[in-house]
Chains A and B, each alone.
Chain A
């Protein structure tokens, strides 16, 4: 199963780099559509080269790859923080979450969320209420007045998630958001993320280099090769034998890595 998902054919838009307006035809148009995306920081040494990827609206896709293969770069390109050197990038508006919560330390948790609302133009009168709702969605009802340093790592990430959700973007890009957390907390956050994904209907592109995490969360797992980064394989988790899938993916990942030893 290495092909792109069915039903994502679009016509005549390859080559544009602007985010398409949401279309009326229900959901056949991907939320994120990458064609031949390349990125090089140093000329002649492409980090990404020829990345093709479609993500359907509402889908949760895990992007897996070795360290340094360009996962973060790809997310930044989709988020518009970096420009692709070549190829076309179409994405609905996207919010981005980092490995560190990166909360503003001078603001309380509630104010961090409110700032996102404010920069989006939400009127002052609605912000506080809306921020409470979002914090409540990530089960941090009592934490609005706490500052980042008073929260545990998992709680900080949940505030960061609430802040990202506050942006009301269709697409949520997550760059190893749970990598720095302990295993117990991470397990819980997997459940949380899944619940929130289901309640909000967002399209999620989740970067990780943890195979089990990818299989646990993703409807689809996409493997990115290293130097240059390119989509080499993907698995539709529901179709596979759940017990054997992590081992299978790990084998591919190792193979991909050891290619560079030669």
Chain B
């Protein structure tokens, strides 16, 4: 091997090493494959057990709460009509389920909550992208959006009633005012946290303005966006309950808020607790069945979540 096979235009010659001095390892591919194997761990195969081990602590906590509740009721500090026990509330739940009011309230509220939330996503997502990416929009409207997020959406109920009367429009209006700012802020936060290096890579790879947003910025901002969606849902649900409690009658149907309000008017504490538990249950169910798995999947795919089983 001559020592000067290195003219710039020398034909490719995979057999020689540079300058002919460096000893060629007999099996580069083999060494490399070995190193690759050493430096990567096979993914642990576990699924079902992890799900189980995630399930029992909250169940245990709920059981403890029930026991404490029952103990307080038995201690007799409050009369039963003022503080019904789990038993009485369970009876109220079954009878409300039997006469259909429970299902009516649940389905009315869920439907509105989901529709309102989807509308908020449809409005908030493009808005968020614009606020995050267009400088002057951000400078002018950014602070307003942040301010709106702090404003409790109950504050919009009177305005909604004056503008839209006792109709579904009021309910949706309040939901939107509650949820859209959260979603917008989620996107903005997500976009702000995109590592500049990834944008540079996009630029180097030749991404234009549009491709930069769709191929780099938005996917990179997905975790922040998801967090915003989750908060947006929470705000939707809260706003909906606020609206339903305050705005009863008219063409507004019978939702969980109205159910709660009815319990108050009847001074039936069991009904009130039933409504509260249902509202809570929906919140927990959506978190556990929709957002938690979504978030876990996104974070795990990016290696952002520690693989903790317990």
Contacts and interface: CB of A to CB of B under 8 A. Distances in A.
Given A139-B29, A167-B206, A238-B3, A149 B303 contact: yes
Interface of A: 5, 26-27, 56-60, 79, 81, 95-96, 98, 100, 102, 104-107, 115-116, 119-120, 139-140, 143, 147-155, 163, 167, 184-185, 188, 191-192, 194-195, 198-201, 216-217, 219, 237-239, 242
A242 B19 contact: yes
B8 A219 contact: yes
Given A184-B35, A188-B32, A194-B17, A100 B303 contact: no
Contacts of B12: 198-201
| Residue of B10, B13, B28, B32 contacting most chain A CB atoms (<10 Å) | B32
Nearest to A117: B205
**Top 5 nearest A-B pairs by Cβ distance?**
A149-B303, A152-B39, A56-B8, A59-B8, A105-B302
B207 to A, nearest CB: 5
B43 A147 contact: no
Which of A150, A153, A191: most chain B Cβ within 10 A? A191
A182 to B, nearest CB: 9
Nearest to A200: B12
A152 B40 contact: yes
B222 interface: yes
Contacts of B32: 139, 188, 192
Nearest to B212: A119
Given A102-B201, A152-B36, A195 B6 contact: no
A238 B36 CA distance: 32
B266 interface: no
A219 B200 contact: no
B219 interface: yes
15 contacts: A5-B8, A58-B9, A79-B204, A105-B302, A106-B301, A115-B205, A116-B205, A139-B32, A154-B35, A188-B31, A188-B35, A191-B28, A192-B28, A198-B13, A198-B14
Contact of A58 (B8, B24, B203): B8
Given A154-B39, A216-B18, A191 B25 contact: yes
A148 B204 CA distance: 19
Contacts of A96: 204
A154 B301 CA distance: 20
Given A188-B32, A194-B18, 15 more contacts: A98-B200, A102-B200, A104-B216, A104-B220, A115-B205, A115-B215, A116-B205, A147-B303, A154-B35, A184-B35, A185-B39, A191-B25, A191-B28, A237-B18, A242-B19
Contact of B204 (A81, A139, A201): A81
Contact of A219 (B18, B22, B203, B301): B18
A180 to B, nearest CB: 13
Contacts of B39: 152-155, 185
Interface residues of B, number: 46
Interface string B31-74: 11101100110010000000000000000000000000000000
B211 interface: yes
A185 B33 CA distance: 11
A120 B211 CA distance: 11
B303 A119 contact: no
Interface string B285-310: 00000000000000001111000000
Question: Which of B10, B195, B205 has the largest count of A CB atoms less than 10 A from its CB?
Answer: B205
Nearest to A100: B197
A194 B14 CA distance: 8
Nearest to A30: B8
Contacts of A79: 204
A237 to B, nearest CB: 6
B198 interface: yes
A216 B22 contact: yes
Contacts of B222: 106
B302 A81 contact: no
B87 interface: no
B36 A155 contact: yes
Given A27-B8, A139-B32, A155-B39, A119 B18 contact: no
Contacts of B8: 5, 27, 56-59, 219
A33 to B, nearest CB: 14
Given A119-B215, A199-B14, A149 B302 contact: yes
A119 B207 contact: yes
A163 B29 CA distance: 20
A238 B203 CA distance: 36
A167 B201 CA distance: 12
Contacts of A104: 198, 201, 216, 219-220
B143 to A, nearest CB: 31
A188 B25 CA distance: 9
B28 to A, nearest CB: 5
A155 B38 CA distance: 12
A43 B3 CA distance: 47
Contact of A119 (B17, B200, B206): B206
Contacts of B303: 105, 147-150
A229 B12 CA distance: 33
